[in-house]
Structure 1
């Protein structure tokens, strides 16, 4: 085992895990003051629940090995979570458990991302039920489509998921998704859209009514997300090498460009650049570069950032035009940004993009991957959400929503002023 690469993967896993508390701050600052605890708890609830499910059976579903799926009921419960580990050949660079830990953090943050679409109006228990079912039948299988790979005894590639490796047999090229543009962002964005439609609009939903209560929280959350994203992108190389370094540089360049582009659009459209816009632009750029970070030169990464920042700044307005209440713009940032980053590779991926030495094949496989995940996630998320809403209920009462759901659901307040209590 290479201790350097092992340490690299474990550190990157810790960075990605930090993204979920970062997301809690990002989302928490965007809602009203009386819903901040509830909003942050949706992220922390996902952290606890998916962390357990991943060890119990999620890894076995996402990385089943060449013998096929290992279902939960076949797991050795005396050795929970360790029955389907990748058998790494002798002399490999890292131990299997390092990879298990790294991929666990991806599962956690993906589920947490979905919660932004249902801010201010979701029951905590219903959210946890949705998260468990959606992770089991959507995220874990999609992670297998994208991230699953296996090694032969000689260390060479032996098998893998159909999106990144299976399409090589059909088209000669597999889809490029280095760190999760499809499995994480398109997947979460599509599910978020489905839940927004199932739960309906917040009371009084219209442009300008719901404003962020704490922009400093939003900036803090965006900073933690950006910091953790270096582990997300560079860590996906699973080795401290030149590819990881390229991913690292692109994780600086693209979100920086997207931040600037978002502020320019805000200035032109609304007259003022905002701190929330800066944070949102950075996240949009991070989303877009996720699938592409190892397959673009830094120049193309900057162009991708500019495009993603500008387009996502406009895309978040679609909810008002089309009438769906995606509370915290998961659709406008993660779904749209994920699509932009995934499809951009069809044009500019090194050596295979339409304008960088290839033909239209890369664009074709990128589109197949993106829209397959989008449709699969949206349909199943809608079915799960609809079933929960019609049985135990997913949305809180309107009067609780108006009053603020922190005290109703959690018995806590985000900001306790002693003078007011006295």
Structure 2
């Protein structure tokens, strides 16, 4: 029965595509689209998409040679499974009509209905709704891909597909709705998350920790990176794509997009430099891996703050996040937690540091939306910081406990852990019948 289930799913999707063609009239001539905003958001959508292949290189270069293809495919397959889910009902769950501020009504944009008749998203009135939907899709794609670094080299691929689908359904979609929908629970609280500190990095980070604990340690303790050059290429692609991730979250070609672009590259540079100097301070050689990891930590940390803080404060965010994550990576190596590629110390903790520092450094002169909450703690106001702290605790508990439950459910449906023999041979051969 399990053998034919994937084929049945494809048949169901094919039937839906015939039943719901979504053929609508052209946009009304009075629709106030802005061609500059449309052009920038088309570019941003492509930039964010390239982050997933970038992540594949970033993670693929860090694992053992016998697991490179499997690790890279775990990222790329998210582009396939999440896109189909998004088109059918995923966008509706994330951005559809709000159900008690927690989740969207899955029928709102079912099979992308209502996308071609001039509709717009309230926060992006100058671009077509379909463009907003495709832009947000790229965030949904990369989030579960981030988790893969935690259980690399020991997860069954078929089981991973089940977990990705469940994670999107029960973790990502509710968090996206709560945070970015105007009627969302966290949005009404006044939580500021410009481009995904809670929705993307914290959710992935806590799911990564849950996965590392659930799947336990690998049988082989030795870890030799396959291609450090892959890591460098992946870092470059991630950094390049992150401009769409953060600056694109301004949802238009605006001065705010320029600020977000500037704070993004500033924080990444500061974090990369800090990571290298911090290693040197402890008697280690400056390494390519350290530079790359530090830079990505800075990109993670600035994500929730990119459109709310000044450029000098982006330096602070990069430096602080690099030190905190570096210390957490060092601590993790002395524990029994086998987070293969340190997803939780880098993405999870980096996201949490960024969320808190948004509550410290955000100011209404950078982004007027802050007027609806307050300025950050650095400017003598406490309200925003307490809101961010409350959200951090709540989202952390939700993402961690929820992920543990989903891992157990997935394991019941299809065992998550590969056999010892398959792990020894390597996942490239045992799961895919391929090798470098």
- Specify if TM > 0.5: yes
Question: 1:5-44 residue pairs with structure 2 within 5 A?
Answer: 5-44=37-76
Correspondence for 2:218 among 183, 188, 202? 202
- Matched with 1:348 is 361
CA distance in 1, matches of 2:115, 2:36: 25
Partner SS state of residue 231, structure 2: helix
- Matched with 1:58 is 90
Q: Does 1:381 align with 2:407?
A: no
Q: Does 1:81 align with 2:97?
A: no
Q: Does 1:406 align with 2:419?
A: no
Tell me the alpha carbon deviations over residues 121-155 of structure 1, each in whole angstroms, 9 at most, x when there is no partner. Answer: 01111000000011011101100011113xxxxxx
Correspondence for 2:125 among 92, 110, 124? 92
Question: 1:243-282 residue pairs with structure 2 within 5 A?
Answer: 243-282=256-295
Gaps of 5+ in 1: 150-159, 168-173, 415-422
Is contact 2:96–2:108 with CA below 8 Å preserved after alignment? Answer: no
CA distance in 2, matches of 1:270, 1:134: 41
Partner SS state of residue 378, structure 2: coil
Question: 1:390-401 residue pairs with structure 2 within 5 A?
Answer: 390-401=412-423
Question: 1:64-213 residue pairs with structure 2 within 5 A?
Answer: 64-65=96-97, 71-72=105-106, 74=107, 80-82=111-113, 87-88=119-120, 92-149=125-182, 160-164=183-187, 166-167=188-189, 174-205=190-221, 209-213=222-226
How big is the shift at 1:392? 2.1
Distance change in 2, residues 1:163/1:76 (3 Å) = closer
How big is the shift at 1:387? 2.5
- Matched with 2:367 is none
How big is the shift at 1:390? 4.1
Question: 1:323-342 residue pairs with structure 2 within 5 A?
Answer: 323-342=336-355
CA distance in 2, matches of 1:67, 1:30: 42
Distance change in 2, residues 1:76/1:179 (3 Å) = closer
Q: Does 1:46 align with 2:68?
A: no
CA distance in 1, matches of 2:204, 2:121: 34
CA distance in 1, matches of 2:99, 2:355: 30
- Matched with 2:309 is 296
Q: TM-score w.r.t. structure 2 length? A: 0.86
How big is the shift at 1:65? 2.6
CA distance in 2, matches of 1:212, 1:296: 36
How big is the shift at 1:203? 1.2
Distance change in 2, residues 1:364/1:41 (3 Å) = same
- Matched with 1:171 is none
How big is the shift at 1:87? 4.1
Is contact 1:10–1:101 with CA below 8 Å preserved after alignment? Answer: no
- Matched with 1:307 is 320
Q: Does 1:363 align with 2:385?
A: yes
Tell me the alpha carbon deviations over residues 399-418 of structure 1, each in whole angstroms, 9 at most, x when there is no partner. Answer: 2212211011101002xxxx
Partner SS state of residue 219, structure 2: coil
Is contact 1:117–1:329 with CA below 8 Å preserved after alignment? Answer: yes
Partner SS state of residue 377, structure 2: coil
Distance change in 2, residues 1:385/1:119 (3 Å) = same
Distance change in 2, residues 1:35/1:67 (3 Å) = closer
Q: TM-score w.r.t. structure 1 length? A: 0.88
CA distance in 2, matches of 1:39, 1:64: 33
Is contact 2:275–2:290 with CA below 8 Å preserved after alignment? Answer: yes
The alignment yields a C-alpha RMSD, in angstroms, of: 2.0
Gaps of 5+ in 2: 1-32, 365-374
Distance change in 2, residues 1:229/1:134 (3 Å) = same
